[in-house]
Amino acid sequence: GAGVSQSPSNKVTEKGKDVELRCDPISGHTALYWYRQSLGQGLEFLIYFQGNSAPDKSGLPSDRFSAERTGGSVSTLTIQRTQQEDSAVYLCASSLATYRGGGAFFGQGTRLTVV
């Protein structure tokens, strides 16, 4: 498809387990963002990739969270030793690399539930 694709769409995991969330951005988009959204709350920035530049990791809530982007395309967000407060919808977005490139487009998200 032509849009941002995220997988899995839903993930239930036990507390303490590691999870990996995947994002396939729109082809040609060099900027990629990860956010999370808890029920009824706003979007919380996690990490931002732009081309070959060092990622902006300033939003990662703890060292249990990490992300990588291979070949400037697909990105994986990894949460180690999951906690119940990690339960949220994790949203990925991509955009063109120009500052007036028209904003970012989101995937449908991964709903993570830690039990």
Partner 1 sequence: RKEVEQDPGPFNVPEGATVAFNCTYSNSASQSFFWYRQDCRKEPKLLMSVYSSGNEDGRFTAQLNRASQYISLLIRDSKLSDSATYLCVVNMGYGGSQGNLIFGKGTKLSVKP
- Strands in 75-79's sheet, in edge-to-edge order, are 5-7, 19-24, 75-79, 65-69
Residues 39 and 25: beta-carbon distance below 8 Å: no
Q: How many other C-beta atoms can be found within 10 angstroms of the C-beta atom of residue 17?
A: 12
- Residue 43 contacts partner 1 per CB under 8 A: yes
- Residue 98 contacts partner 1 per CB under 8 A: yes
In the complex with partner 1, the residue whose CB is nearer, 73 or 80, is 73
In the complex with partner 1, the residue whose CB is nearer, 29 or 114, is 29
Bridge partners (DSSP) of residue 73 are none
Please tell me the total number of residues recorded for the chain in this structure: 115
In the complex with partner 1, the residue whose CB is nearer, 14 or 28, is 28
- Residue 79 contacts partner 1 per CB under 8 A: no
Site of interaction with partner 1 (CB under 8 A): 31, 33, 35, 41-43, 45, 48, 50, 53, 56, 58, 91, 93, 95-109
